[in-house]
Amino acid sequence: MPITIYHNPKCSKSRQTLELLVKQGIKPLIKEYLKIPPTADTIKEILKKLGYTPRDLMRKKEDAYAEHNLDNPALSDDDLIGLMVKHPILIERPIVLANEKAAIGRPPEKVLEIFNQNSKSKKLI
């Protein structure tokens, strides 16, 4: 399975995470999720790998969060996921997927935790 990063090139943490991966000899598949948003099913899979709820994956300080009243507890998980598909700026970034695991690059070094010594990937620091 290729290593994937959901990347926003305008985000410093996303750029730092990508740079960290490249320095480790990893050439990830780069998905600029603001240009091509992930599907609802993809977001559900990412949430499962992270062990997150949809709210855990949302950037609560984005204007779209307030504009759509996303702090409303009556909104279902499917409602929140649907809004992340329509407004991908709401998705926390960067997200790295590898070895059937996922991590948010905040801080960037956090993504190194999903690589383990038993994987076929190059051993990381």
**What whole-number distance in Å separates Cα of residue 125 and Cα of residue 107?**
15
Tell me how far apart the alpha carbons of residues 99 and 110 are, in angstroms, rounded to a whole number: 15
Q: Are 94 and 17 contacting, i.e. CB atoms less than 8 angstroms apart?
A: yes
Coil, strand or helix: which one is 61? coil
How far is Cα 26 from Cα 121, in angstroms, rounded to an integer?
A: 9
Pairing of strands 95-98, 101-104: antiparallel
11 counts as catalytic: yes
- φ and ψ at residue 70, rounded to 5 degrees: -75, -5
Of the listed 1, 4, 9, 11, which one is catalytic?
A: 11
Catalytic residues: 11
